[in-house]
Amino acid sequence: MVTHSIRRNLLVLLLVPLLTLLGVVGANAYYTGLSISNTVYDRALYDSVLTLGILVKSGEGKVTVDLPPIARRMLEVDPMDNIYYAVRSTQGTIILGDPSLTMGKVLAASVESPVFFDSVHNGEPIRVAAAEIFPQGDNAHPVVVEVAETLKKRQTMAREILQQSVAPQLFFLVSAIIVVWFAVRHALRPLFQVSEAVNRRSALDFEPLPQGQVPLEIRPVTTAFNNLMQRFEASFTSQQRFVSNAAHQLRTPVAGMRAIIEAELLGSAPGQASPTLERLHKSALRMSRLVTQLLSLSRAEPGNPAQFIVLDVDYLLQEVVEEYEVLAQEKNITLATDISSDVPVSGVPWMLSEMVGNLIDNAIRYSPAGSTVSISLNRRGAFAVLEIADAGAGISHSEIDRIFERFYRGEHVTQEGSGLGLAIVKEIADAHGARISVGPRGQGQGTLVLAEMRLA
């Protein structure tokens, strides 16, 4: 899946034009520098043409060039470039100089209009300047003087101009990148602040996001979010009210039906009770437990008022264990306890009793007859640690992430139940800031449930 980033898009939209502009400016600076260097050195090259033209003389029908050795050295010697020259008649006949020097546009030169052009000589690029010159003497026919040089000086000058012009531009670009980076980061800060405000909320915090400091560009998003929260709150409140009302409405008739069925069973002779009546009794027990769990779940959900007090969880655990002794004896299961004393925690007594009761009830229900359910409570550092281990079939790794979902029951579960017990445990644990973990028992079959709460 492609992830789109506003920051990346803004940086691309801002920096790509800047880089393109720098490239255009740099290229323009280079070619401008090259043009300037060509103009400067073309003038110097033309001066050499005129200097050589002064030395051309005519007499007795001949054209000669009076080029002393010192003048030749001055003309030919250059610290960077190679210099080439030639003096020709207007028909192209060589009078002096390098006969292999290109003719090119030389013959197009006139007295009034010298020519400058690029060419190649001995495999090197050269720049040529040529002009018609009337020699001193009695010859009325002009000659063509051309002087050429390689391009090292020109290229060096163009690079220097480019470096001098691009260096400030690079500094400007780096400064612009830094400014743009911090500007984009600053501009996106309200988005991160909104994100942090949402992440800090609890699952049932439906308060609207404050709009006072939100920029106009983000306000449609926060407004839509607030409207969505209002709809969620209305839906959640309606659902919570429905579950609570339904459980309360069902509690009395279910209790009455259970009392009637149990009275009929007590009135029957031992072993003579109707199988249908016994099935109805089991169904009534399941329904009574389901109603009780729905009420507990409704009371345990966040948003309901709860009074936290400091209590000794060891006494509370001992009381809950005693309540489940009868159920354990019916299944011939032993409840083995190892409960340390003086384990104070901050919590709501009825909620902690409900949480522990659901864990013990699950352990008894899913353990085979004749087995042992181990229950221990100890202090570990700053935490009170409750461990409940059963001898059941265990929970597969693929199901561990789902067992706290409401109404979820494992694929291979055969025992009766509603799938709400562990959901209630999770709600209560979250309300108390406790950590609940479920995994395989250390030895043999079974499941180990571990609950950690910070000591008061």
Rounded Cα distance, 36 and 42, in Å: 10
Cβ pair 173, 18 in contact under 8 A: yes
Tokens of 82: 């190679």
Helices 313-323 and 349-365, interaxial angle, to 10°? 40
**423 versus 410: which is more confidently predicted?**
423
Q: Is residue 1 part of a domain?
A: no
Domains: count for the chain: 3
Assigned domain for 166 exists: no
Q: Which two tokens stand for residue 418?
A: 């509603």
Query: Are 334 and 427 within one domain?
Result: yes
Is the same domain home to 55 and 113?
A: yes
Beta bridge partners of 390: none
Please give the model's pTM, rounded to 2 decimal places. 0.46
- Residue found by looking up tokens 């020109």 in the block: 154
Domain of 155: which CATH number? 3.30.450
132: three-class secondary structure by DSSP: strand
Q: Which domain holds residue 28?
A: 6-159
Q: Check residue 1 and give its pLDDT.
A: 47
CA angle 79, 85, 88 (to 5 degrees): 175
pLDDT digits (tens, 9 = 90+) for 36-50: 878 888 888 888 888
Q: Is residue 187 part of a domain?
A: no
Give the domain-ending residue among 248, 271, 300. 300
Q: Per-residue pLDDT tens for 199-251?
A: 777 666 778 888 777 777 778 888 888 888 888 777 777 766 766 666 666 66
